[in-house]
């Protein structure tokens, strides 16, 4: 695992904890209300919300698991995918229950607590793990970078679509990205450091 990725994951986790501290203690986050109100006009982002839905993530994850099972015989990879996708979802719900942050007071039709955003957190984990295993099949560095760049862009669109829908505060989404990225790097580090056969 690249040292830069490890350091960035640590920084990402520290930033997540900083946002969580602000949210837990009901401290004001500068510009949050402004962004929440004004991003509500960005209707173009709303269709990207589907990327973070359980149906899309579930179907694509099953497809990846079948690929790792039938084609690659990578059983450690299957465990890693399950831990990443299912684990990030469980972790997200646990933190929401602990933080108990109410959603923005708009007619978004969503239930449950707000912090951190599941679309952002599980979405970025899901897209990065797919990009990771696809990139392992590719030798061209430029194409690898393109795949990860596309995954990050789609993650950003899916996450911030939730602010456009006014179902999450911007800090919910930012925290979801930060924790999801840190969790992804940790699990991939453990996957790559697994004992050789």
pLDDT score recorded for residue 109: 63
Please compute the mean of the pLDDT values over residues 106-114 and round it to a whole number.
72
Mean pLDDT of 179-190: 95
What DSSP letter does each residue of 100-123 carry, written as one string? -PPPPSSS----S--SS-HHHHHH
Query: What pLDDT does residue 147 have?
Result: 95
pLDDT above 90 for 28: no
Estimate the share of the chain in helix, then strand, then coil, as percent rounded to the nearest 5: 75, 0, 25
Mean pLDDT, the chain, integer: 89
**Lookup: tokens for 76:** 């450690």
């Amino acid at each position: 695992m690249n040292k830069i990725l490890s350091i960035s994951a640590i920084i990402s986790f520290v930033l997540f904890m900083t946002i969580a501290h602000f949210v837990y203690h009901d401290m004001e986050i500068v510009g949050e209300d402004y962004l929440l109100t004004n991003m509500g006009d960005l209707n173009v982002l709303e269709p990207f919300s589907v990327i973070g839905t359980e149906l899309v993530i579930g179907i694509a994850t099953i497809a990846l698991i079948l690929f790792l099972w039938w084609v690659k015989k990578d059983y450690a990879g299957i465990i890693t995918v399950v831990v990443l996708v299912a684990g990030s979802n469980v972790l997200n719900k646990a933190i929401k229950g602990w933080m108990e942050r109410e959603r923005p007071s708009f007619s978004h039709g969503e239930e449950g607590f707000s912090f951190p955003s599941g679309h952002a957190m599980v979405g970025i984990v899901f897209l990065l793990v797919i990009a990771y295993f696809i990139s392992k099949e590719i030798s061209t560095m430029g194409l690898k970078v393109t795949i990860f760049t596309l995954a990050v862009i789609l993650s950003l669109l899916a996450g911030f679509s939730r602010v456009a829908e006014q179902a999450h505060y911007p800090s919910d989404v930012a925290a979801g990205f930060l924790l999801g990225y840190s969790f992804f790097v940790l699990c991939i580090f453990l996957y790559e450091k697994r004992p050789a056969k």
